[in-house]
């Protein structure tokens, strides 16, 4: 019977590999920054958490928004920031406040410059308008506010419920879809009379 001999270099390679594995297992605990497993560990989703924070969102043209929050969590990669229980918040356009905001939660995308408000929101305009609902998204790049779900829009003259709302702050345009409206006739007449008097001067 013929026996095949294992090449000598195969034996040496196997011995060297066994010694290397044994060395890693034996001395792994002494290696600097060495984890308990040789597999890479997944970094946590939240890398920084702070409480009772005044936070400012910044863009290429300066301050985009500001808010006081009970808690702020910065996500992995620092591309997102989650804010909890927002109060005394302001959205700015051209460096000037255009909307006041309150919300249960918010998520800021630092790359897209989107501020998503959810969990119950209240947004107040500078002229007494008020928007309440489940949520809304503010895009600083386009200067637009979009509702998330059904919202209620209140002004001195009317009370409007709409399935979708879009506010273009820069062009001062308001668009709504599937609207249910209640109008206060005395307030509306008073406003029309004031505008007519102003235009006559």
Residue 17: its H or E element? helix 8-27
Residue of 135, 59, 62, 129 whose CA lies nearest to 100? 129
Block means of pLDDT (10 residues each) for the chain, 201 residues, are 53 52 48 42 65 86 89 80 91 90 91 88 90 92 91 86 91 89 62 58 60
- Tokens standing for residue 143: 């200067």
Dist CA 170 CA 157 (whole Å): 23
Residue of 47, 97, 94, 43 whose CA lies nearest to 67? 97
Within 10 Å of residue 120's Cβ, how many Cβ atoms? 13
- Starting at the edge strand found earlier in the chain, the sheet holding 158-168 runs 46-59, 62-75, 80-93, 96-109, 114-125, 130-139, 144-154, 158-168, 173-183
Where along the chain do its domains lie? 46-197
Residue of 148, 147, 149, 178 whose CA lies nearest to 162? 178
Identify whether the C-beta of residue 28 lies closer than 8 Å to the C-beta of residue 34: yes
* Cα Rg of the chain, angstroms: 30
State the pLDDT at residue 186: 59
Residues contacting 139, CB < 8 A, separation 6+: 112, 113, 114, 145, 146
State the pLDDT at residue 189: 56
How much is the pTM? 0.65
- pLDDT, tens only, 68-88: 999 998 877 667 888 999 988
> Which CB contacts under 8 angstroms, 24+ apart, belong to 131-137?
131/165, 135/103, 136/165
Residue 27 DSSP symbol: H
Residue of 85, 83, 80, 82 whose CA lies nearest to 112? 80
Residue of 180, 153, 155 whose CA lies nearest to 166? 153
State the pLDDT at residue 47: 75
Residue reference for tokens 């927002």 = 86
**Homologous superfamily assigned to 46-197:** Lipopolysaccharide (LPS) transport protein A like domain (2.60.450.10)
Three-state secondary-structure class, residue 20: helix
State the pLDDT at residue 118: 92
State the pLDDT at residue 94: 83
């Amino acid at each position: 019977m013929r026996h095949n001999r294992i090449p000598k270099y195969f034996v040496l390679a196997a011995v060297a590999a066994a010694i290397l594995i044994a060395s890693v297992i034996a001395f792994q605990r002494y290696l600097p920054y060495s984890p308990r497993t040789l597999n890479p560990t997944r970094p946590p989703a939240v890398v920084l958490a702070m409480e009772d924070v005044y936070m400012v969102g910044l863009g290429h043209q300066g301050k985009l928004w500001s808010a006081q929050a009970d808690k702020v969590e910065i996500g992995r990669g620092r591309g997102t920031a989650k804010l909890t229980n927002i109060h005394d918040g302001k959205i700015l356009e051209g460096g000037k406040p255009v909307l006041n905001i309150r919300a249960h939660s918010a998520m800021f995308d630092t790359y897209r410059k989107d501020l998503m408000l959810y969990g119950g929101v209240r947004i107040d305009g500078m002229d007494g308008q008020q928007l309440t609902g489940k949520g809304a998204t503010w895009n600083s790049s386009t200067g637009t506010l979009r509702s998330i779900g059904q919202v209620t829009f209140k002004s001195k003259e009317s009370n409007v419920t709409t399935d979708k709302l879009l506010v273009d702050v820069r062009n001062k345009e308001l668009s709504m879809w599937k609207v249910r409206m209640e109008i206060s006739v005395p307030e509306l007449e008073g406003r029309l009379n004031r505008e007519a008097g102003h235009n006559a001067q």
